[in-house]
Amino acid sequence: MKEKLEQIKLEVLKQIEQSDTLEKLNEIRINQLGKKGALTEILKGMKDVTPEERPKIGQLVNDVRIEIETILEDTKVKLEALVMEAKLRNEVIDVTLPANKSKKGHRHPNTIAMEEVERIFIGMGYEVVEGPEVETDYYNFEALNIPADHPAKDEQDTFYINGDILLRTQTSGTQVHEMEKGKLPIRMIAPGRVFRSDEVDATHSPSFHQIEGLVIDKHITFADLKGTLAEFAKELFGEDTKVKFRPHHFNFTEPSAEVDVTCFKCGGSGCRFCKGTGWIEILGCGMVHPNVLKMSGINPEEYSGFAFGMGLERIALLKYEIDDMRLLYENDVRFLKQF
């Protein structure tokens, strides 16, 4: 038995000496010291050894096992050192090479314009309120004084999910939700994405953003509306900006107006940017229609208010002199990195 153990030890030591990788060394450990290894087989045959010889054989087997494990561990340490040395030699870093510059992202031009508009109105005491993009026909149309036979309700302009549920075409529904809460006075803007069945071109998209504002309080007049929008225009386009109100029609408001600002490119003298007129249209507005106040549970004899709405993309196009709305959504890094 002693000779057999010595033979096993010599054979294992020879295999260890010939091992040049950690994988081979691990295979030797499993094959020789594992459940099916030669030493384990000897221990399984201890039942055939006389009781007097068992302690001696067991001690010899343990001694050989310890010796083999010690040599295996020493060899493993040496091979790991060789592997590390090879890695350090092959993966050396040349600190004189130029570093890879990390490219930092930034806010989208739409987001920049949105945050600037919000900052201006928050500074005037307004609250930013968000509403659902999937809306009911009542909040999107009827509560805004738009009857069933109005052209805006035609399915060619609106994405209907069913007869009563649709993708909102304006954020005015958010204003109705706020009015119905009955917490007066109200000073709010409602920014958000809206949807209309438009063909994609330089100035239209089926999905775009609006920012609509609403003020409800006692003794609110058209003069308050004009003063608010004049201050907004100066903050957004420059201190010398002037505003012009042109009569218009909106079902939601009465009286209503379109608002122009003096061209910030030429100062109002006329240029290509303003098509020689000196003015640029930016939004629509008006005094909240009494019917809208009534449908939201507000007494028009006691309260009055004004509302306004603008396209966020239009503000971004004007402010940053972009001539094609599609550029905002094509994710061309060459365009976006300019902001």
| Residue 143 DSSP symbol | G
Q: With b meaning 16 or more CB within 10 Å and e meaning fewer, what string describes 89-126?
A: eeeeeeeeeeeeeeeeeeeebbeebbeebeebbeeeeb
- 233 pLDDT band, cuts 50/70/90, is very high
Sign of CA dihedral 172, 178, 181, 185: negative
Q: Which of 217, 222, 234 is CA-nearest to residue 123? A: 234
Of 85-99, 212-226, 257-271, least confident by mean pLDDT is 85-99
Residues above pLDDT 70, as percent of the chain: 89
Q: Rounded distance, CA 193 to CA 80, Å?
A: 60
Q: Rounded distance, CA 196 to CA 118, Å?
A: 24
Q: What is the pLDDT of residues 32-76, one digit of tens each?
A: 776 666 666 666 666 666 666 667 766 776 777 777 778 878 888
* Strand partners for 304: 217
pTM of the model: 0.67
